[in-house]
Structure formats: structure tokens, C-alpha cells
Structure 1
Amino acid sequence: MKKFGKIFGLIAALLVVLAIAAAVLAKFLITPERVRDAVLPLAQKALQREVQLGEIEVSLFSGINLKNLVIQERDGSEPFVAADQVVLRYQLWPLLFGQVVIDEVRLVAPKIRVARLADKSFNFSDLAGAGAQEEGKAEAPPADADKAATPINLLVSQVGIDNGELMFLDYGINAQAPYRYKLSELQVSARDISLEKSFPFSVKSRLNGSTLAIDGEASIKEQGGRAKVQVTNFDVTAFAPYFREQLPGKLGSLKVDLDLEAQAGAGSVASNGKILLRDIDLVLEAMQDAPIRDTRLGLEYRIRTDLAASRLDIETAKVDLNGIKADLAGKVENLKAKPLLDVTLAIPDLDLRSALAAVPKELVQGAAGLNPSGKLNARIHLAGTTDAPLKLLQEGQLTLDGVQVTAGGERPSLSGVFSLKGDSVASDNLQLKLGDNQANIGLKAGNLFGKPIVISSAVTSERFLIDPLLKGAAAPAVAGEEAKPAPAAKGAPASEIGPFDLPLKADGTVKIKQALYQGLSIDNFDMAYRLIDNVLTIDKMTGNVAGGTFSETATVDLRKKGLAYKTNLNVQGVKAEPVVAVFMPKASGTVFGTLNINGEFSGTGTLPDAIKRSLGGNGKLVLADGKLTGSNLVQGFSQFLNLEELRDLQFSQAKGSFTVENGRVKLSSDFSGKDLRMAPQGSVGLDGSLDVRLDARISPALTDKLDKKGKFTQFLKDQEGWGQVPVLVTGTAARPSFALDTSAIKGQVEQKVKQEVQKKLQEKVLDKLAPAEGEPGKEEPAKQLLRDTLKGILGN
């Protein structure tokens, strides 16, 4: 133990001796004059600028303090760098060999002025080539240079800046009023600096109110390193002059927060972290009516770049736009020329209501009234070059889960899957729900990015209520009443729709086992349609209704303003009463019987006035076992004839033909019944106006009741005793007006008088002029002449 104690004592004594020796040598080797003589020429030669240095302090343990260091600008007008202190620390061991080795340099409270000049050069641009230029001019050192030189060597392994300030002035944009940016509270440190090994460094500062912190390692040999970067509350708008022209709009506000890591090596860069853009206030030129206000965009990512292969691998990228989230992964190749993408984009569980609230309200103001809800899930694979963005879509899937919108006071719901591949899409298990309604939809579409888009659909349903779909639509016009169009916007006259130029080619079918409209059941509804060159063709529309059937074909030309349409309608065996009750509710209970219609119609325009002017057509109508009752027409006719028995008009058959032109329906018909026979002729206007002549014939019993004294009807009876009452109907279907057709009565009376005169002449004269029995053809010439003359006068 005593032996070891002696050894430690010797070592301690040796250290004390060395410390004393180092202190003595430091005092001898490091003097303010030698430091000034070493530093100033070296700095001025390297910087080619005037360098000023204040007091110099030398301490064994605190090192060398250079106070009030000033490096002037090239023209000497103002300081380029000014530091309160420059601390140089030296190694103690080399002092024992007569050498001063400076291994740490630290600037205290430096103020650095960096300027970009009007010619786009910097106030330090000359420093990059100064050393090379002077190196060529340097003279060989004198032979006794080693003896005269100060034994101070710079072998810096640690550098630092304490509480520094960097002011950047940019005269390159505005030479008269330069832009100013201030980097304050600057703290920089790097230690163990080596050309062979990596060394740590850190940077902390404040920039225009934001904070910046960088911690990492650098490798000079590997030309790389790693760093962790944190930026808080960085105001991008302060740097707007540098990107304003490239921005397609006006940026009012944008703050950035960064928390990321990066690693760089020979030919590769990897990074991961979070980027948050917040307080975004942007008005895009293309969307000036929909400014982006108070928006947040977050990105959490992990990427790797292979510079040699010109490739970017996106391991993950999670985007969050005001709560709208999306995931991106894949790769981008050929970065230096024409980028080639191969990425997958996923949008998980997108809540439509939240998404609508997340985007600028002006951008979706049309959708706000629809009040969308439900969820979307999307997964899309994009591959190809960025110069053909529409061709990037390779495949994908869009899943709808209870997606709803408000339409016509109802909220239909759509669920199912859309599968995308290239430029085509197809649905799978797509279901539409509306209250108690449910329909299955099969949909295929192709050539999505070309013209025309080709669509094929098939809709099927077991039971479907039509009423909810038509809520809010105008009610059908009652016969005799003018249909009222939906009111136009205040101050704007109603205008025709169209023409349309839809880039579509479509076909499809609709099959509904039972459709219900206001209680009327339409069974086995079957429709097939196609749209080619903006002409819609309904090849078939059939179904069963009210005990009968209907079928229709039609074409609608969308290329014309107001559209142009043509239709063929066939109705067979349909009960009239339930159909009239639904489509003409005010006439409900007035028409009964079995209805057959066959007609063709055509026209242009969708507004009432246009329809009246252009609608044309013709057809035939048959009403079997019919009854007309309760309507103003029937009641008015009964009152006009004062026959209570005619308040219900019953017919075994009513048939006729019609022609539609110039806003009127021309009729030619024949009604046959037990008490009444009619042959209405004339026209009915599409506005309900009437101009119809009823050649009414009343049964003998009612004829006698019509004129009990027989003074009138004796001239208006046919051979079977039916009373002939020609009636003229004018006014409107809602308010008809009845009058006797005097011209027809006059003709009937004249005919009746002729018949009576002829009868009397026959009895009194002609029968007596007839040849004697058994002598046919033997009539005298005079008698024959008399008979022919009377026939010419009487018309028989």
C-alpha cells in the first residue's frame, strides 16, 4: 500500500509540474501581440476585407478572448460580421512542445449582415474564389519563416455561435426598399469536427417570430449525415415575394409547423416526420368565388429517395385536410425527366357531412342544401406519367355506405361498391333505398376520359312507390284547366331547356314488378331505352294497369331548344275510373268504362305555351260500357234539356277519332246508349275551350217527356221515334255553355216538312195517279210528268 501511495504521489507531483510548465509556456508562447500578428493577416488575406480587432485576453483555462471583432464589407461602408467576443480555446499538451493548437472557436453575440445585391449576387460571393485567386499569387516564404512565424496552429474541432443575429437584406427584388429577414437568438454548435468521422451539430434560432431547431450529425467524408428539424409558427407569407408569381392566386395567410428527421448519404436521402400547414387563407384565380379560409393541411410521411436511380419511394403519406384523411403509398421514378408514378391512394371512412363542413362553403354551396350524409371508402391505384393525368387511373374501388342526400323533401340512400379499372367502372350490389322503396342498380360505364362516355344500366325492384319521387312536382292538369308551370326566378322569364350536348352514349332497362302511384298499381313495368348522339329513344315501355295494358315508344331529341319529342301510345282494356281519379283528380268519379286508346303525338317545347303551339297527333279512342256523370258537361247538358234522366249518361260503346293541331283537338265520335245517342263533332282547345256540336238523339220515352204537347218534337223525330236535338257546346270544360244549333234545327225542320208534304201528296195525288192494278208501267205520260215534277220539288 505504501508503494502505491508513493506512485500516486509522484504522478500528482508530475501533473502539478506539467501544469506549471504549461502555464509558463502559455504566458511565453501566447501573447496578445503574437495572437494579433497571427490572426489579423490570416483573416484579411482569406476574406480580402478589412478586419478590426479590439482587446485580446489570454488565460490558461479560459483560452484566448478576441473582443470587438469587426469584418467590414468589401467597400468598407459597414460591418459584414461584428462579434462582441471570439473565444479561441487551445490544447494544453502541445504547449509542452512549444506549439499552440487552437481546437475550439466560439463567436459570442455576433451580428452577421447578408445581402443579395441588385445584380442577384451576394455580399459574400467574392469569398468563394478569394482563396484560389490569392493562392496563385502567393510568394514563397523566406528561409527564416519558420523561425519568425508564431507557433499558433488552427486545428478546429469545435465551433460555436452564442446569441447570434443574422440580418438578410434582399435588394434583388426591390433595390430601393429591400426585403428584410432577421434570424435572432442564433445558437450554433459543432464538436469533434473531423474529416474522417461524423460529428454532432445543433442550430437553434428565431426567424420572424418562428422558432427553428436542428440537431444532427454530419459526415464530411461520406458527404451526408442526419438531422432532426423542428420549426414552429413559421409565417410563409413573409416570403411571398419569392413565389407570388408562381402562385395561381393570392395568399393571405399560411403558417407552417415542422417536426421531421432526415438522413442523407452518398446518393440517397430518407426522411420521415410531420408537416402542418395551418391558418391557410388562399384565393385561387380559378375559384375566386370560393376562397379557402382557416384551413389546416397535415402530412405525416416516410419517404426515401435514391438520387442515382432517380427514384422516390413513398413508404407512407397520411394527409389530413380539416379532418378529411387520405393515405398514399408507392413510388415515383424518373424524377429528373418525365416522372413515372405508381402509387395507391386510400380515403378511409370519409364522413360526407364532416367533409362538407371541412371545405370552403362557397365551393359546395350548391351541395349544402342537399345535406349529404353517409360514408365513403375509396382505394385508387394510379400509375403512369404525370403529363397524362387522366390516364393515371389503373384500378380502384369506391364503397358507399348509406350515402344520402335531400331531394324533393325525401332522403334517398345509396349503398354499394363501384369498381374502377382503367377508363371503366362497374357497380356491385348497388342498392337505392327511399323510405319503403328499394331498387337494385347494375351500372357499367366505359371510356370515362374520352367522348362519348358509354353507360349501361339495369334497374330492378319488387315494389316501388312513385309518390315520394314526385313530391314537389306540379300536379297534373285537370281536363279543362291550364297546367301551371313552376314559377320562374324573380325577375327572370321562364325559358325553354336545352339544347343539350351530352358526351354520353347510354342504354338501359327498368323492371319493376309493382309500382304504386297514388294507390294505382302498375304491374310488370318494363322499359328499355338508349341515348345516342343526344337522341333519347324509348324502345319499349309496357305494363299492366287498372285491369288492362299499356305500351309506349318514344323519341326525344335533346339537341333542340325545348326538346323535340314523338311518341306512340297504346292502351287496351284499362278501367277508366281509377286512371282518371289519379291523373285528373278533380274529374274523379265522372268517367267509367273500359278504355282503349291508340295514338301518335309529337311536338317541341316544355313550357305550356310552346306545347299548345306545337303539339300534334292523331288517334282513336273506344270507351266500352261507359258512363259519364257528375261533370259540369254532363250536368249542364241535363239541365239544358231539363231531363233529370240524363244526369248519368250511359253508353254501351263510345268511339271516335281525334286529331291534335294548332292547340286544338278535333273530334269525330259516336256514342251509343239506351236513352241517348250522340255524334260529337268539333274541337276542344288544349286550354279547355269548347266548340263542339252534339248531334244528340233522345229515346222516344224521353222525347215525349221533353215536349209533352208534341208541337216541337214532331218535327225532330226520326222514323224510330228518337228525338233529334242538335246542341252547340261552347265555353270551357269547367264552365260549358249550351245552345240549340239553329242551323241544324232549320235543316231538320225543313226535311221534316218535306217528308210530311210528300206523304200527303203521296196519299192525295200520286197514289191516285198510279197505274191500275195489273197494268204496271202503263202510266200515262202526263201522269208520269206530274210525278217527276213533284219529286224534284220535294227532293224525293
Structure 2
Amino acid sequence: MRWIIRFILTLIVLVALLVGVLFIVPGERIAAIAAREFETATGRAMKIEGEVRASIYPKLGVRTGPIEIANADWSDAGPMLKAEGMRVGVDLMSLLSGNIKIDQVEAIAPDILLEVAKDGRANWEFELASETPAATDQAVPESAGGIPAFTLDHGLATGGSLRFLDHSGGTDIVLTEMDLDLRVPDFNGTSQIELSARMNGQVNQVSAEVSNFSTLLAGDIVGFEVTAKSGGSNIGLSGRGGYEPLTFDGQLDADLKDMAALFTTIGQTVPDVSEGLGQQASLSGKVTYTAEGTAHLRDGIIQLDQNTLNGEADLDLSGDRPKLNAQFTAEALDFSSLAASADGNSGSGSAGSGTGWSKDMIDASGFGLLDAQIAFRAASIDLGTLKLGTSRVLATLDRSRLVFEMREINAYRGLVTGSFVMNNRNGLSVGGDLSARGMAMQPMLIDLADYERLIGLADVDLQFLGVGNTVDAIMHSLSGQGAFSIGSGELLGLDLVGMLRNFDASYQGEGSKTIFDSINATFQIANGVLTNDDLVFLGPLVRATGAGQVGIGEQTLNYRVTPVALSNEDGTGGITVPVLITGTWADPKFRPDLQALIDQNLAEERAAIEARIEAERDEAEERLRQQAEERLGVTREEGESAEDALKRRLQEEATQGLRNLLGGN
């Protein structure tokens, strides 16, 4: 920046000094002298075309024809500066006394090119002559960096343009309709500058005031106040700073109520954000930028619509990649509009929309722009469909891997902890390890689905991983596992026993409820499909089991629930009506599993027949034993079975028969 200021002021002062000799030297000689002295001072060729004319009235001065200043020798983008002409007016009495008092300098339709080569060289970097041009012969204030002292009532540039072209970074910025007014009433005092220009079709205005102009030229620390306006947005920065090296320390106040103007200026489309995330924003705080390349925010207040964040941040720009460290706190945060946005975009591929997941590419390239660690705490968060209490989250971004560590999220009398990860180091992947304890189901389901019948405290564990560059690909690739359990509770207004007794799934008893002791299930996820085979619902009058699959990727259902009511104490008997849940998330189908019911009845009938046959067989065997005992005259002793008694009797008869055969007694 220092070189740019010297460059422009060298041109202005040189032309002004030549006004004094214009009346005794022909105009073309003046042009030649100015061009030669400028090239001596800067190393750049200057060409002045047309006639150089002096004027006495209404102001002593000179008007040139078209001016052109050569670019750096490595550039092929054309001249560094072109203008239709220049007008310079000076104060005659101050000129005669040896001082330069410039009343007005006006560059007519200047076209300025600031260019950076691929190797980092800038076209405004050049060596000024060690001494000022011979025509000046002025004492040079050291603080001004070789520029003789002068005053300037008005330095004007009207109808101009400026292009900043950076071949190393690919930046190409163009300002058009540029008007500038520089005022230096005291070379060692306060000066002002006002700039208006159009960028990407949006008019922007900048006003600045510095406490000491000569100190500014030297690049040293100087007091300043800068305000910028783009549409309805205003940014103000006041404090102290310099540019060799670039440093500043001051107060920032930014009112960004006109986001459309700001994003138009930088050539971007205004992001479609919900209320509470920054449709309008403001930022204030103490800001510092050091010579080491670090930026700091203290006592920061960020206003995003109705939400206020307080905190501080440190940004280190000195390394290969910027590093951000920040801490923010908030009281009540209102993001309830997020729920309304989700409802209004039901056809965009969100869950349950019936159109599947979004297949739009997810651009996660921004994860690689910097490394960051941001700690956040809020007293409460309203997400519209969910209400959260005190929440503490630590977000860490390290080499394109973003981790949200949920240290504490209080919600619905319970506590949620765990982590959520987005990794873009080798393609995008998302994963998480979440745990919820003691979540009150009734208030949570009322907020989520306007469902108030389930009362109980739930524990949930979930681990998952998905890979892909679209939501659809991630959901189809999901893998993981989890568990779900609810302790004792109630199902209000739902009479499962009555439903089973009347074979009517819509049956609802007056003021009825189903009390349960527990609900438990575990599940596995593979290739976007959740599988469960151990759902157990236990209650005093009803129990149920469940098994099946939930297609997360395809948003489908294929699940079977088997409730049993009015069973015996040992769990047998009762009324059973299996129910199949099929279809899609958007249009689920519920129907009795008649085939399973038939198979179950057949199995029960078969079991009854087999039991009856077994009983009849046992009864026949018993009759045969009794007949054998009577015929053999067998009397069973205490504790002796019929078989043992018969064996004993046969042994006795055989022994007696053998004795008789041998002549014994």
C-alpha cells in the first residue's frame, strides 16, 4: 500500500511543481520534462499526449491531455494507469514562497490496473529515486518517505475504474464508476478520503480519516476512522494502525442488515438461511491485527436476527492454514424457524417426503480452508420441533475433519452426550456415537409428532457411519448398531386388550390406557438397512414381540409385531393377532398377518392333537399295566412303579419255578 500512495503522490506533486515554469517553457517541453522526471523517480515510463495548457482563471494551474503510465516489464496486461487527462490547480502565493499548496488535482476518467504476478511480484513495487526531482529542490520530511510536504484541498478522480488482478491467487476484482475525493489540508495533520464505486453492480461507499497524513505515508502507526456502506449495511472501524507492517487495534461495529447488497458486492448469491441464522446480522467488539499475522476479537457481540452470541476469537494467519480458536456463549437461542423451513420443503428429498433423500452434491471443500476449535454454550435452544436446555458443545476442525463433541445437552429431563463427525479428508463420510439417558418420551413426542400417548423415560445408544457425497449415498451406505429401552410407563387412550378382543385396530376405550413394565430392543444397521429381531413389550395384561427391517436408504418398512393379551401367568394362551407394517415412511400400511395367524392356529391345533394322542397312549399303557398286575396278582409296594412291580413279580415266579424244577422247597 505504501508504494501505491507514493506512486500517485509522486505523479501529483511532480505535475504541480511544473506549473511554476509552465509560463516560460512551451507545453510540449513541460510534458517531456514531467515524463522524464517521473521515470527518473519511479522507473516507469509516462506518456503525456496532446497539449499541456496553463490556466490562470479561475485557478492557477495546468490541464494535460491523455496520460499513460507503463506497467511492470513482466506484465502484458496493458498500462498501469490511463486517464483522459489531469487538472492541477495550485496557490500562487504559496508557490512563490517555495511551498506547495495544491488546491485541486483531478484525474479525469482514470483506468488503474493493480497486478500481482504468479511469483508474487506486484506492479506497484518500484524503487523511488533517492532524491526528489531536481525541479523541486525541496526539503523532504523523513516521515513522508521521500514525498515533499504539500497540502491538497481536493484530490479528485471522477468516472474512473480500478482492476485488481492476482495471477497467483486467481483473484480478479473490478471497480467501476469510481469517484474519489482526497483532502490533505495539513501535511502533518488530519486528512480525509471518500470513495464511491460500483462492484458487481452494487454501489459501495468508503469514508476514512487519518490523524496524520505524513505518518500515514511512512506506514507508521496512525489514528484512523473508517466507515463503509453497501446498500443498507454499514461497517465502522476506528482505532490506530499502520501498513508497514500491517497492524491495527480498534473498535469494530458492523450492521449487516442488507445481506443482498453484501453478497452482490462479492459476486455471490445470498444464501437461503432461516431466521435466527443471520438473515440480518451485526458484529461489534475490539479487534486487533498484529505484525505476526494474528487477528483477535475481544468483547465480541454477534447478533443473528433475534439471537445474540457473546465471546472472543483468535485467528492465526501465519501458518500454512489459518487456525481459529473461539469461545461463545448465549442465553436463549431461537431457531424455531428451522422447523417451518423443513415443513415448507417437504418435496426436497427430506425424510418422509416420499421422494427419497436428496441427491444434490454436498460441497464440503470449505472444511479444508482452516483449522478451528470453537467452544459453545447456550442456556437454551429452541429448534422448533425440539426444545433443548443447557447445552455445551466443542467443535474441532482439523485438516478437513469436523468433530462435534456434545459434552452436555439437556433435553426433556434427560441428558444427551457423544460425538458427531464429518470427515472430508478422503471423500465425505459422517459418523456418530450418541447416548441419551432418561429422555421423557411424552413431551418429546408432542414436540416432534404431536403424539402424547406414550409416557416413560427412554435410554438410547446409537453408533453409525455413512459414506458419500450426497445425502442419498450416505443413507444407503449407513452401518452401525444401537439399543433402545423404556422403563415402566403407559400408553394413554390405547386399549390393546380391547383391540385384540374385538379384532379392531382402531378400537379405543373411553379413558383407557395400557400399562407396561418395559420396552426393549437392539438393532443392527448394514448398507442402509436397520434390522431388529428382539423387540419386547412387557405389561401386566399384554406383551408383544417385534422383528423386521427398516430401509433407511429406501425409506421403506417391513416389520412384524406380535401382541398377546390376556395370557396365563406362565405366559401361555391369550389372544394373539400379528400385525404387518409395510410400505414407505410417507405411506405406511398396517394389516393383520393372516397367514401367520393361520400358521399359528394350525401349529396350536397340531400341538393339541399330539398332546391328546400322547395322553390317550399314556392312558392305554396304564390300563394294560393294571390288567397285567391283576392277572399276575402283583401288588405294588410304596414308591414302586408298575414296571418295577411287574419285573419283581416275574423274577419271583421265575425263581420259584427254578426251585421247583431242581426239587427245592
Partner of residue 191, structure 1: none
Matched, 1:326 2:208: yes
Give the Cα separation in 1 of the matches to 2:443 and 2:524. Answer: 25
The structure 2 residue matched to 1:779, chosen from 643, 648, 659, is 643
The structure 1 residue matched to 2:583, chosen from 721, 731, 735, is 731
Partner of residue 266, structure 2: none
Give the Cα separation in 2 of the matches to 1:292 and 1:443. Answer: 32
Is residue 403–residue 415 contact of structure 1 (8 Å, CA) maintained in 2? Answer: no
Change over 3 Å in CA distance of 1:212–1:497 after alignment to 2: closer
Give the Cα separation in 2 of the matches to 1:271 and 1:615. Answer: 72
Give the Cα separation in 2 of the matches to 1:319 and 1:699. Answer: 89
Task: Identify the structure with the greater strand proportion.
Answer: 1
Matched, 1:400 2:260: no
Determine helix, strand or coil for the equivalent of 1:538: strand
The structure 2 residue matched to 1:460, chosen from 309, 329, 349, is 329
Give the Cα separation in 1 of the matches to 2:140 and 2:482. Answer: 84
Determine helix, strand or coil for the equivalent of 2:613: helix
Matched, 1:721 2:595: no
Is residue 651–residue 673 contact of structure 1 (8 Å, CA) maintained in 2? Answer: yes
The structure 2 residue matched to 1:545, chosen from 411, 421, 443, is 411
Is residue 239–residue 251 contact of structure 2 (8 Å, CA) maintained in 1? Answer: yes
Partner of residue 661, structure 2: none
1:731-765 deviations in whole A, cap 9, x for unaligned?
34532333221444444443333223223333343
Give the Cα separation in 1 of the matches to 2:574 and 2:185. Answer: 101
Give the Cα separation in 1 of the matches to 2:498 and 2:283. Answer: 51
Give the Cα separation in 1 of the matches to 2:344 and 2:576. Answer: 40
Is residue 311–residue 328 contact of structure 2 (8 Å, CA) maintained in 1? Answer: yes
Determine helix, strand or coil for the equivalent of 1:679: strand
Give the Cα separation in 2 of the matches to 1:462 and 1:245. Answer: 47
Partner of residue 225, structure 2: 347
1:702-755 deviations in whole A, cap 9, x for unaligned?
xxxxxxxxxxxxxxx987432344444433453233322144444444333322
1:547-605 deviations in whole A, cap 9, x for unaligned?
222222233213243x32221222222111221232335xx235332211122122124
Deviation, 1:654, is 1.0
Give the Cα separation in 1 of the matches to 2:436 and 2:480. Answer: 16
- Deviating more after overlay: 495-504 vs 228-237: 228-237
Change over 3 Å in CA distance of 1:271–1:637 after alignment to 2: farther
Determine helix, strand or coil for the equivalent of 2:50: strand
Partner of residue 277, structure 1: 157
The structure 2 residue matched to 1:678, chosen from 538, 544, 555, is 544
Determine helix, strand or coil for the equivalent of 1:414: strand
Deviation, 1:276, is 0.8
Give the Cα separation in 2 of the matches to 1:456 and 1:318. Answer: 36
Matched, 1:426 2:289: no
Q: Which amino acid aligns with 2:582?
A: T
Partner of residue 752, structure 1: 608
Q: Which amino acid aligns with 1:342?
A: D
Deviation, 1:672, is 1.0
Deviation, 1:346, is 2.1
Change over 3 Å in CA distance of 1:205–1:684 after alignment to 2: closer
Is residue 479–residue 584 contact of structure 1 (8 Å, CA) maintained in 2? Answer: no
Is residue 528–residue 540 contact of structure 1 (8 Å, CA) maintained in 2? Answer: yes
CA RMSD of aligned residues (A): 4.8
Give the Cα separation in 1 of the matches to 2:55 and 2:280. Answer: 61
The structure 1 residue matched to 2:317, chosen from 448, 459, 482, is 448
Is residue 330–residue 342 contact of structure 1 (8 Å, CA) maintained in 2? Answer: no
Partner of residue 690, structure 1: 557
Give the Cα separation in 1 of the matches to 2:247 and 2:479. Answer: 51
Matched, 1:660 2:514: no
Determine helix, strand or coil for the equivalent of 2:619: helix
Determine helix, strand or coil for the equivalent of 1:270: coil
Give the Cα separation in 1 of the matches to 2:390 and 2:401. Answer: 26
Partner of residue 432, structure 2: 567
Deviation, 1:655, is 0.7
Determine helix, strand or coil for the equivalent of 1:756: helix
1:666-690 deviations in whole A, cap 9, x for unaligned?
1121111233211101112224433
1:176-204 deviations in whole A, cap 9, x for unaligned?
xxx9512457779xxxxxxxxxxxxx966
Give the Cα separation in 2 of the matches to 1:719 and 1:603. Answer: 41
Give the Cα separation in 2 of the matches to 1:656 and 1:612. Answer: 22
Change over 3 Å in CA distance of 1:427–1:566 after alignment to 2: same
Partner of residue 505, structure 1: 371
Q: Which amino acid aligns with 1:623?
A: I
Q: What is the aligned length?
A: 524
Determine helix, strand or coil for the equivalent of 2:472: helix
Q: Which amino acid aligns with 1:481?
A: G
Q: Which amino acid aligns with 1:449?
A: S
TM-score by length of 1: 0.55
Partner of residue 62, structure 1: none
Partner of residue 600, structure 1: 463
Is residue 726–residue 745 contact of structure 1 (8 Å, CA) maintained in 2? Answer: no
Partner of residue 178, structure 2: 295
Higher RCO structure (Cα 8 Å, ≥6 apart): 2
Give the Cα separation in 1 of the matches to 2:505 and 2:171. Answer: 74
Determine helix, strand or coil for the equivalent of 1:292: strand
Is residue 499–residue 560 contact of structure 1 (8 Å, CA) maintained in 2? Answer: no
Deviation, 1:636, is 9.7
Question: Pairwise mapping of residues 102-181 of structure 1 onto structure 2 (< 5 A)?
Answer: 181=50
Change over 3 Å in CA distance of 1:723–1:505 after alignment to 2: same
Is residue 283–residue 291 contact of structure 1 (8 Å, CA) maintained in 2? Answer: yes
Give the Cα separation in 1 of the matches to 2:30 and 2:571. Answer: 123
**Structure label with greater radius of gyration:** 1
Change over 3 Å in CA distance of 1:512–1:723 after alignment to 2: same
Change over 3 Å in CA distance of 1:596–1:509 after alignment to 2: same
Is residue 628–residue 634 contact of structure 1 (8 Å, CA) maintained in 2? Answer: no
Is residue 226–residue 264 contact of structure 1 (8 Å, CA) maintained in 2? Answer: no
1:644-699 deviations in whole A, cap 9, x for unaligned?
36896542211111112222221121111233211101112224433223333221
Partner of residue 138, structure 2: 265
Partner of residue 581, structure 1: 446
Is residue 104–residue 155 contact of structure 2 (8 Å, CA) maintained in 1? Answer: no
Deviation, 1:297, is 1.0
Partner of residue 131, structure 2: none
Is residue 550–residue 558 contact of structure 2 (8 Å, CA) maintained in 1? Answer: yes
Is residue 400–residue 415 contact of structure 1 (8 Å, CA) maintained in 2? Answer: yes
The structure 1 residue matched to 2:401, chosen from 535, 546, 550, is 535
Segments of 5+ residues of structure 2 without an aligned counterpart are: 1-22, 37-45, 66-84, 123-134, 142-147, 197-204, 260-272, 630-635, 648-665
Deviation, 1:112, is 7.8
Deviation, 1:435, is 5.7
1:392-451 deviations in whole A, cap 9, x for unaligned?
233422422555465524434333222333433333222234565433223223x22323
Determine helix, strand or coil for the equivalent of 1:182: coil
Give the Cα separation in 2 of the matches to 1:760 and 1:578. Answer: 58
Is residue 620–residue 657 contact of structure 1 (8 Å, CA) maintained in 2? Answer: yes
Question: Pairwise mapping of residues 200-211 of structure 1 onto structure 2 (< 5 A)?
Answer: 207=64
Partner of residue 388, structure 2: 522
Give the Cα separation in 2 of the matches to 1:508 and 1:677. Answer: 48
The structure 1 residue matched to 2:475, chosen from 606, 612, 615, is 612
Deviation, 1:321, is 0.7
Is residue 28–residue 52 contact of structure 2 (8 Å, CA) maintained in 1? Answer: no
